[in-house]
Amino acid sequence: MPRFDAIVGEEQLKDKMRAISRSAPSHAYLLAGERRSGKTTLAKCFAAAIQCEGEGEKPCGKCMSCLQVEEGSHPDVIFLTHEKEETIGISDIRTGLNEDILLKPYRAKYKVYVIDDAQNMTVQAQNALLKTLEEPPSYAVIILVSNTVDAMLPTIQSRSVLLPVKPLPDEVIRNYLMNHMRVPDYRADVITAFARGNLGRACDLVGNEEFEELKSNAITMLKGISDTDLGTAYVDAVDIAAKYKENKNSFAQLTDLILFWYHDALIYKSTGRSEGLIFREEIQYIKKVAAEMSYEGFEAVFRAVKEAKEKLRFNVSAETVADLLLISLKESSQK
């Protein structure tokens, strides 16, 4: 059973959960944070803490209750299941929660329900849940785990105590990658920048070959931009578009890499310092870009990347976006 101290970061949230588990919990909590931010682990730990029978720090991880939560066999900690994978429907809530909750706890003081992916509840399902939230039995604790707060009806939000999962500081992620996953520092920097405070996303990128390949393609392309002529840049654009046109996510990551690269160069240009740069291992090139480009050039690059991202969102083809972007990068590098 993960104990709170084994979960990285989220100190405030964990303190709040610890305090709740030592007092009388409310009937409903809305644990909200983006995908891969560790919400499900936190919810499980929170449920275990509420039910823990041990002394001292809760969850203790050792008592029968904690062990049963870990195994998924605790009779009074219920992880709501649903028939369809992508949606939680009204019948799932009716049978899995509204009817089940009327039966008193089997052994514990509380009956804790965890609804993971609560953002997938249909409006009808949420309205059915609302019936229970309006008049919950005294022993009921419902933990909704959702990607966004907004996915919940306002009437559900107002009856739940919000527990927001916040992005982790970069330093926490970087240290975790280096100390627990043995990622070398220069790679940890790039991954940390990409993870944007999400440890799950960071871990996904470690050893992800697709990402490594994308990164090395991007670096080759970026190194070449100031050296090649417009014609070559155009050929590169066609190449890149062909590679990533099926995968908007990769293309979006590519635009992020471009952004980080020029951001590094701009920082170097204005401070003359290489500490904290994401692409420290390419410092010779970063210095070159910093020396060759004007501040207007940087502004033009950031504008072009922003526009490229918008075009991708509006479903403009990858070929067109790559063309325009690379040509702007080329032009900006000469400004």
Residues lying near Zn ion in the complex (CB under 5 A):
52, 54, 59-60, 63, 66
Q: How far is the CB of 60 from Zn ion (least distance, A)?
A: 3
3-state helix, strand, coil in the chain (%, to 5): 60, 10, 30
Query: Can you tell me which residue has the tokens 């709740």?
Result: 20
Residue 66 or 133 having the CB closest to Zn ion: 66
Q: How far is the CB of 110 from Zn ion (least distance, A)?
A: 14
Residue 144 to residues 27, 163, 220, Cα–Cα distance (Å)? 11, 10, 45
Query: Can you tell me which residue has the tokens 């002394």?
Result: 55
Residue 69 to residues 60, 86, 217, Cα–Cα distance (Å)? 12, 25, 45
Q: How far is the CB of 45 from Zn ion (least distance, A)?
A: 11
Q: Find all residues with CB under 8 Å of 174, minimum gap 6, and list them.
A: 185, 188, 189, 192
Give the distance from CA 179 to its chain's centroid: 20
Q: How far is the CB of 27 from Zn ion (least distance, A)?
A: 22
What is the b/e burial string over 97-131, where b = at least 16 CB atoms within 10 angstroms of the residue's CB? Answer: beeebeeebeebebbbbbbbbbbbbeeebbebbee
Give the distance from CA 50 to its chain's centroid: 26
Retrieve residue 164's tokens.
Answer: 């927001």
Alpha-carbon span 217 to 219, nearest angstrom: 5
Residue 106 or 314 having the CB closest to Zn ion: 106
Residue 55 or 135 having the CB closest to Zn ion: 55
Residue 63 or 265 having the CB closest to Zn ion: 63
Query: Can you tell me which residue has the tokens 């369809």?
Result: 84
Q: How far is the CB of 108 from Zn ion (least distance, A)?
A: 11
Residue 60 or 329 having the CB closest to Zn ion: 60
Residue 63 or 290 having the CB closest to Zn ion: 63
Residue 47 or 188 having the CB closest to Zn ion: 47
- Per this entry, what is the length of the chain? 335
Residue 54 or 89 having the CB closest to Zn ion: 54
Alpha-carbon span 160 to 165, nearest angstrom: 15
